[in-house]
Amino acid sequence: MDWTNKVILITGGTGSFGKKFIKMLLAEKQPKKIIVFSRDELKQHEMRVAGYDHPSLRYFIGDVRDRDRLLRAMHGVDIVVHAAALKQVPACEYNPMEAVKTNIIGTSNVLEAALDAGVSRVLALSTDKAVSPANLYGGTKLVAEKLVIQSNAYAADSATRYSCVRYGNVVGSRGSVVPLFLKQRASGRITITDDRMTRFWLSLEQGVHFVMTCIEQMEGGEVFVPKIPSTKVIDLARAIAPQAEINIIGIRPGEKLHEDLLSDDEARHTIEIEHMYVIQPAEAVWFGYSWKDKGTPLPEGFTYTSDNNTEWLDVQGIKEYIAPFEADFLNGKLEG
């Protein structure tokens, strides 16, 4: 795909993913225009003064809850990356309707505006917490996924196509446990909720490259799941603060011991290729099914969870993984 003549809009463009996506997109793809769509004018200003002032960048203030504003922003847009969300689990639990308004209704607005504006491709970011959700955040992202995939039924006679990517925890992103552990290290005491806990991990760079690849390959209707390593959270704590005392404080409401990226029900209509799993739409009513000829079907009962993963980061591997983020933290650049 030739990106140089494309206009891309990213919702939540001032977030950790959005900023990295924009930086890498400018460096590697040189698109015609990138529209940063977000509701916080201060963060947009801070982005500009931090060096995000490329001639192809446009800053558009708006909220995904406002469908009319989205429609205006999407005029002439070719590709939408939907990254805006309320994602802090405790905040979503305490403010459930706010999470619903942004993560569900906001997603619906993005999808409808894209269809009406004639956008070609819409890729929405999801999370492992959307699989068998244990908290409201995961529940809203599950609904958002269903909205994205099923919207292809309405778009089948148009040029618009919708797909999702679903991946695990991003090292160094806002809300990541990495900056928390780095802060706690100074006290000599690290807190974790359960010493059996495991998580999927990937870097922001990995996430951005995966999204770019999926935009280029999507037909509409797929959920793309990358193959990424797992870590034990206690190993993460030991990698960051090997001399610190580790205190187990008990699992929190809405928290899982292990996360899922692919359920056994989904595995029945999923194919495996070299670096990812592609979940095909459950109902063959439109498109997204040519993937079955590009990969291998999964065996009956297959699941992809953070505790049954075949790829693991040990303490040394984790140290190498987080080294850039630790350096940024020490230099005051890490986004917590």
Q: Note the Cα 90 to chain centre separation in Å.
A: 18
Backbone angles phi, psi at 147, to 5 degrees: -60, -45
Does the annotation count 129 as an active-site position?
A: yes
3-state secondary structure the chain: CCCCCCEEEEECCCCHHHHHHHHHHHHHCCCCEEEEEECCHHHHHHHHHCCCCCCCEEEEECCCCCHHHHHHHCCCCCEEEECCCCCCHHHHHHCHHHHHHHHHHHHHHHHHHHHHHCCCEEEEEEEHHHCCCCCHHHHHHHHHHHHHHHHHHHHCCCCCEEEEEEECEECCCCCCHHHHHHHHHCCCEEEECCCCCEEEEECHHHHHHHHHHHHHHCCCCCEEEECCCEEEHHHHHHHHCCCCEEEECCCCCCCCCCCEEECHHHHCCEEEECCEEEECCCCCCCCCCHHHHCCEECCCCCCEECCCCCCECCHHHHHHHHHHHHHHHHCCCCCC
Catalytic residue among 20, 129, 141, 256: 129
Give the Cα separation of 162 and 35 in Å (integer).
Answer: 19
Distance of alpha carbon 256 from alpha carbon 180, whole angstroms: 19
Catalytic residue ranges:
129
